[in-house]
Amino acid sequence: MQQTADSIARIFYMPSEEIVNLHFTIKNKVLDYYESGYNEDNLNNAIWLSEKAVAISSLVMAAMINKHKHDCDEYLRIMGMPHPGIKFYYPAHPVAEKLIALLEQQGRIMQAEYVANKVASEGWGCGKYIELSDL
């Protein structure tokens, strides 16, 4: 857990690929805590990591878009033709969804609404996409 906290603290100095990898590391750890069975430590760790994931979600979204653009540019450079996946589809944020549900179960409705509004304003799970030409 300390290693994840240290990585989060360095996020502003990370390249896009590392930020995206950190996002998925946090996601996997949160899901592991939820799946490990209910006890107070697992729940507290899951909540703490979920809150961190939401706190950095705008940076993660920007990094995901940058990484996708970089990958498509590299494909063009190497293959000499455009990448077939030139659209970036906004992904869901399952950690935020779990946190929202948990906050609602705990009666912390205002916090749940804040999280829901934050991730929605960043495009998470909106079902939309952007064209690389729009970047």
Model confidence pLDDT, tens digit, residues 20-60: 999 999 999 999 998 887 788 988 999 999 999 999 999 99
Q: What is the pTM of this model?
A: 0.91
| pLDDT on residue 135 | 67
- Give the number of domains in the chain: 1
Model confidence pLDDT, tens digit, residues 79-132: 999 888 889 999 999 999 999 999 999 999 999 999 999 999 999 999 999 987
Inter-CA distances, 105 with 32, 78, 108, 116, Å = 20, 50, 8, 14
Which residues constitute the domain of residue 103?
A: 2-134
